[in-house]
Amino acid sequence: MFPATRLRRNRASDFSRRLVRENQLSPDNLIFPVFVLDGENQREAVASMPGVERLSIDLLLAQAAEVVELGIPAIALFPVVPAEHKNLQGSGAWDPQGLAQRAVRALKQAHPELGVITDAALDPFTTHGQDGIIDDNGYVLNDITVDALVKQALSQAEAGADVIAPSDMMDGRIIAIREALEEAGYVNTRIMAYSAKYASAYYGPFRDAVGSAGNLGKGNKATYQMDPANSDEALHEVAMDIAEGADMVMVKPGMPYLDIVRRVKTELQVPTFAYQVSGEYAMHMAAAQNGWLDGDAVMMESLMAMRRAGADGILTYFAIRAARLMKQK
């Protein structure tokens, strides 16, 4: 009791604040999402995500060199697919000469020590912008979509992807992908399951970045992504994915869903990741650019909040900027 206990004592000096700090943040906790374009020496700014660019493979390799130098363990790769390579079935997703596959091969050749995570979902490849194959009413069909995702995952593994990250939210896709990887001999190819991916309003800038926003139009993904009102369901999803062979699980978005991150980590005790999504990034950047917030301070605080909630790793567009800042200290 006070005054025997004064909690401010340990806050009084920098050294003691550091000694009693409960959570640490380092570049080891970061994953950098990147958008890759076709062509050479191509660079396009993403208007809704200040500071984020779509890059052709040659420029991506140069950026990846800094990622490695900063000690960031992995990147998450998202292809920007031209309209002529999209169709109703999303068949470009498993083209061995597709943009994502070529990018993986180039990255692993140039930077073999860098982890490469690939997105398993059809939305960049479909003319309708949904994550799967649809029926005449626009409903995403589960089982036929899973068959397509298996082909996509095998194609990515063959190209050299270290981690397959199914972000589609179809039922049963983890066990189907895991069995296919095992059968094909890719026994050490990891699966990072987007297990608790919510039908969130925070994804808009990402869809702009990969070019799927126009295809989706006024449609939504509520029939397969999770209802933002639900928490127990997220634990059910995560438990199923772990049982089916996922090595790591993802909660997406990040900060608005830190309660889910904490529940997953506490109740299931599995490798848990959070995605600080495009809308979160855009809000931070807009506030900083308008002088309303200290950009570096809120960036680091937001990342620490995810670590404190239980995230082992964070996918964030701030990864390079944050790692540079940490390296300066």
Catalytic residues: 197, 252
If DSSP codes are grouped into helix, strand and coil, which group holds residue 3? coil
CB 328, CB 27: distance < 8 Å: no
CB 93, CB 210: distance < 8 Å: no
196/285 Cα distance (integer angstroms): 25
Q: How many alpha carbons fall within 13 Å on the CB side of residue 160?
A: 18
DSSP calls for 230-252: -SHHHHHHHHHHHHHT-SEEEEE
Report helix, strand or coil for 21: coil
**What phi and psi values does residue 322 have, to the nearest 5 degrees?**
-65, -40
Rounded CA-CA distance 133/289 in Å is 40
Distance, CA of 56 to CA of 80 (rounded, Å) = 10
Cβ proximity of 209 and 46 under 8 Å: yes
Neighbours of 112 (CB within 10 A): 10
Pairing of strands 43-45, 53-56: antiparallel
